[in-house]
Amino acid sequence: MTRIAVIPGDGIGKEVVREGVKILNYFNSKYDLKITFKDFDLGAARYLKTGELIPDNILHELETFDAIFLGAVGDPAVPPGILEKGILLKLRFYFDQYINLRPVRLYHDRFSPLKNKGVEEINFTVIRENTEGIYAGIGGFLKKGTPDEIATQEMVSTRKGVDRIIKYAFEYARERGGKLTLCDKSNVLTYAHDLWQRAFKEMAARYKDVETDHFLIDAITMKMVRNPEVFDVIVTCNIFGDIITDLGAELQGGMGLAASGNINPETVSMFEPVHGSAPDIAGKNIANPLAAILSAGMILDYLGKAELAKKVELAVKEALATNQITPDMGGDLSTTDVGDYIVETLKNLEDDE
């Protein structure tokens, strides 16, 4: 039996996760995968009612699952950072999900925002360090609220933390026969990213068959727009990975398409769309569920069902090709209609086999 914990969260998180679960349920009944789901109501509503973010008993219960499927957290009624740090980052850190895997894949030329760059050119993966850097939470205030106020927020790079993400990235690039690009700011962060530079070079010596490359964070944003075809796999620190994957999402057609996995092969991994709770469109059944559906595909891949994950991608391609999409991408379907369309397409794909 495979047990998946579902955390719909806030805003459109709830709406898009439902569609992801719909797809998993379709495969479940078709192939008797024996996946069971349990919902956890964590997010703004619970926090505003009880003051709880993730109670300890839930955290411990989550340890017993095979994977977590999360929608998004964040709500205008709650001050920034409380839900994001208290739920999302809490889970990433608690389960030490050090790999944030974020594929950037354009599925249909029509949705490329770049002239002359299509599905051949926009196809790479960002591997973001997910447990340290500026997200580590070290820092604080001195003389808060006075004219002499000081605020610090430290960027933490540990040798072990940097080594393990770089090693994973080399393995990932080797498996796929691609080039590995290091993205950092070693020209200014001469301590933190000096460590990244040394760790990368030392690891490269152990992976001589993997071609390598390097870009500074500012220059990589230029290159991602001008020549995205030069990238296969990019490894980078937490904050840079956060920023360039929103840019990546736009390259692949929009935030509604970008999927991700927070992975630690030894503990419990968590899958979620890259986007947030989108309060501006929440509750209207118009959010694009494809990022959540592709994230559900990543769960299948993670669970060893790569062939089913491929089918999810094929069905998404079909939805994009035939305009069976939500308004953010120029279609007129609702969130639930898109989920239904993907299920129908999956059925047809299998009939053709």
Catalytic residues: 135, 185, 218, 242, 246
Measured distance CA(46)–CA(309) in Å, rounded: 33
CB 293 within 8 A of CB 312: yes
In the complex with ligand IPM, which residue's Cβ is closer, 270 or 346?
270
The b-or-e profile of 26-60 (16+ CB within 10 A means b, else e) is bbbeeeebebeeeebebbbebbeeeeebbeeeeee
Residue 280: name its binding partner from ligand NAD, Mn ion, ligand IPM, none (Cβ under 5 to 8 Å by kind).
ligand NAD
- Chain centroid to Cα 283, Å, comes to 22
3-state secondary structure 149-197: CEEEECCECCHHHHHHHHHHHHHHHHHHCCCEEEEECCCCCCCHHHHHH
Binding site for ligand NAD (CB under 6 A): 12, 16, 72-74, 84, 88, 255-256, 272, 275-281, 287-288, 291, 328
Helix count and strand count (H, E) for the chain: 12, 12
Residue 89: name its binding partner from Mn ion, ligand IPM, ligand NAD, none (Cβ under 5 to 8 Å by kind).
ligand IPM
Binding site for ligand IPM (CB under 6 A): 84, 88-89, 242, 274, 276
Residue 328: name its binding partner from Mn ion, ligand IPM, ligand NAD, none (Cβ under 5 to 8 Å by kind).
ligand NAD
Residue 324: name its binding partner from ligand NAD, ligand IPM, Mn ion, none (Cβ under 5 to 8 Å by kind).
none
In the complex, least distance from residue 274 CB atom to ligand IPM, rounded to whole angstroms? 6
In the complex with Mn ion, which residue's Cβ is closer, 99 or 210?
99
In the complex with ligand IPM, which residue's Cβ is closer, 15 or 242?
242
When binding is defined by CB under 5 A, the residue of 15, 132, 242, 250 that contacts Mn ion is 242
Axis crossing angle, helix 12-31 with helix 290-302, rounded to the nearest 10 = 40
In the complex with ligand IPM, which residue's Cβ is closer, 192 or 342?
192
In the complex with ligand NAD, which residue's Cβ is closer, 232 or 242?
242
Closest residue to bound ligand NAD by CB: 74
In the complex, least distance from residue 232 CB atom to ligand NAD, rounded to whole angstroms? 25
Strand-pairing partners, residue 3, are 36
- Catalog residues that contact Mn ion under the rule CB under 5 A: 242
